[in-house]
A and B are shown apart, each in its own frame.
Chain A
Amino acid sequence: MSTLEIKGLHVSVITEEGAKEILRGVDLTINSGETHAIMGPNGSGKSTLAYSIAGHPKYTITSGSVTLDGVDVLEMTVDERAKAGLFLAMQYPVEVPGVSVSNFLRTAVTAIRGEAPKVRTWVGEVKEAMTALSMDPAFSERNVNEGFSGGEKKRHEILQMELLKPKIAILDETDSGLDVDALRIVSEGVNRVKENQDLGIMLITHYTRILRYIKPDFVHVFAGGRIVEEGGPELATKLEENGYAEYATA
């Protein structure tokens, strides 16, 4: 059982006009096995929340705390956060030319587990995870995210999540750019990892579409850099009907 606890989080970015506050006091607690949907209009700060937790250097934490099982996450380097059990599935996964998927996965898993996986079991483990995500084995010889379609990038993110076995995963707009079939495959992957590994999930999305496949336990409406309304799955239904208009001035 793990708990990610975010308290009073304020985050700024440096712009040409100076520091600009994006997150204005976020409070959120995610436990193992729970799925929290973070829904909100574009520009509300959802992705900033994701990247701040992962430790992207662009964002400055001005106040508040983030802890994983009581340990201060904000003091950790980016790789330490991953080793502690956090995972960010990115909306725009980055291309790394010349680095093969297989080399990348092996290097990452070795870093997270603290030892290189045994060759014999590792090959099978990767193959099984790829098959479950309907990925061609030849995929592992390609360079990381280079020339990947939108669907391939997202599958590759979920593949990493499956192999790295995080405690808490943040899925940032994982549904964007996916057609119906890809959305189903990716969602099934997320559900499988959640089931097998008792994963806690922060599911960031603009649309309710993905919630048909990944059932949230809690829905948080995000606007103006903080959570403005919370509820159960029924809140998503309301958002689907009414949109975010009523939060625009929040």
Chain B
Amino acid sequence: MSLATTTNYMVPTGREEPWRFTPLNRLAGLHETSVELHDRISLEPSDIPAGVVITVEDAEAFPPLSTTDDHIVRRVRDGVSKVLLVSIEKNAEIALPIFLIRTMVDMTPEISRVQVNAGINSHATIVIENIGEGVLAEEIEFNLAPGANLRFVTLQEWSARAVHVARHHAIIGKDATFTSYVVSIGGSVVRISPTVEYTGPGSSAELFGLYFATDGQHLEHRVHVEHGVPGARSRVNYKGALNGNSAHTVWIGDVFIKAAAQGTDTYELNRNLLLSHGARADSVPNLEIETGDIVGAGHASTTGRFDDEQLFYLMSRGIPSEQARRLVIRGFFSDIVSKLKIEAIEERIMNRIDSELSVVKI
């Protein structure tokens, strides 16, 4: 356990652009230097498949691989003495997902750093599940060697009071592919920043997200893709539903195409479905392009209400309204969920969506 004390960067006040949507007063002090953050490795691996090594290492021996100006992430970096290291051997073909489960039990603020190294031409899937009640600030870095193919699934299935701030940063090497699925359903405040940088041509990132906010929840996802090398590709597809009073979601989609990044191919999409009044979805796509020599760059953002015509159509075939609503919502998320290809998790997400839906009549 160590006390994070470094204060040579600004404590956010809420007026800064990256923090303007976040309810700082509900972060349980994660951003306040006066609040002690406990250094604890609470992720538990289950059944580690061959080809994967998971160890706890001194943080100094495995310094961060990327830079960040995120105040809370820097507190994590300063505060942790240990790092959970996940190493996937080169050429490993790992069919079964690597499960890491975190069960938090109290509201003591906790910090965690994880580094995932995917070896050359390795194939693997990592699943991180967050459950229980807690306050967590974490950073996970993924370092994909050339030709690696890494899928990352993270489930925020927190209990109602949980607070979770995270940065997931992927460094994608030549011809490597990173695919992430960020599923945020539980918690009081969840703020996740999935960020990507590329180090070689032929690299690709597909970032998927699914969130469902009910009464009073704040679920924020801040995607940042930095195309700094030629010939890389990115796809972003985040979908959210909101149900209930003061449910709030934020999606930021920053894509930067630097002058050197000729041949970039990028598209980002965010869709929100408002299921009740009093809910609010903020959606801010942002594309900055410094070179015209690209394959494609686009973005789309839509926020709409539940379509009563769909409901009428299904009901006119005898399907009761509650079931018809569930069908439509499941359908809304299905293009993302069906890509997971992990049946147990797909079913769990869909069931959780069903239960979110029954929280408030729509």
Contact = CB atoms under 8 A, between A and B. Distances in A.
Given A56-B312, A82-B317, A97 B331 contact: yes
Given A57-B308, A78-B312, A107-B323, A97 B318 contact: no
Contacts of B324: 79
B316 A54 contact: yes
Given A107-B319, A108-B318, A98 B335 contact: yes
Contacts of B327: 96, 99, 103-104, 107
A164 B310 CA distance: 18
Interface stretch (A60-68, A87-95, A208-216): A87-95
Given A56-B312, A93-B313, A79 B331 contact: no
B103 interface: no
Interface in B172-187: none
Interface string B309-333: 1101111111111011001101111
A94 B309 contact: yes
B355 interface: no
A203 to B, nearest CB: 18
A94 B312 CA distance: 9
A56 B321 CA distance: 13
B331 A96 contact: yes
Contacts of A56: 312
B199 to A, nearest CB: 36
A111 B318 contact: yes
B286 interface: no
A182 B331 CA distance: 29
B273 to A, nearest CB: 11
A160 interface: yes
Contacts of B332: 97-98
Contacts of B307: 94
Contacts, number: 80
A81 B316 CA distance: 7
B270 to A, nearest CB: 16
A102 interface: no
Contacts of B321: 77-79
Contact of B316 (A88, A95, A107, A143): A88
A55 B318 CA distance: 12
A143 B318 CA distance: 19
Contact of A78 (B315, B323, B334): B315
A204 interface: no
B309 A98 contact: no
Nearest to A103: B327
A79 B312 contact: no
Contacts of A83: 318
B330 to A, nearest CB: 7
Contacts of B317: 79, 82, 104, 108, 111-112, 160, 164
A96 B318 contact: no
A98 B313 contact: no
A108 B319 contact: yes
Contacts of B319: 79, 107-108, 111
Contacts of B318: 79, 82-83, 108, 111-112, 164
Nearest to B311: A78
Contacts of A112: 317-318
A79 B320 contact: yes
Contacts of B310: 94-96
Contacts of A78: 312, 315-316, 321
B320 A99 contact: no
28 contacts: A54-B316, A55-B315, A57-B308, A57-B312, A77-B321, A78-B315, A79-B316, A79-B317, A79-B324, A82-B315, A82-B318, A93-B313, A94-B307, A94-B309, A96-B327, A97-B332, A97-B334, A98-B332, A99-B327, A99-B328, A99-B330, A107-B323, A107-B327, A108-B317, A111-B317, A111-B318, A112-B318, A164-B318
Given A97-B335, A108-B317, 20 more contacts: A79-B315, A79-B317, A79-B319, A79-B320, A79-B324, A81-B316, A82-B316, A82-B317, A82-B318, A87-B316, A90-B313, A96-B310, A97-B334, A98-B330, A98-B333, A104-B317, A104-B327, A108-B318, A111-B319, A111-B320
Q: Ordered nearest first, which 7 A-B pairs have the shortest CB separation?
A: A98-B331, A98-B334, A82-B318, A108-B317, A78-B315, A94-B313, A111-B318
Interface of B: 307-310, 312-321, 323-324, 327-328, 330-335
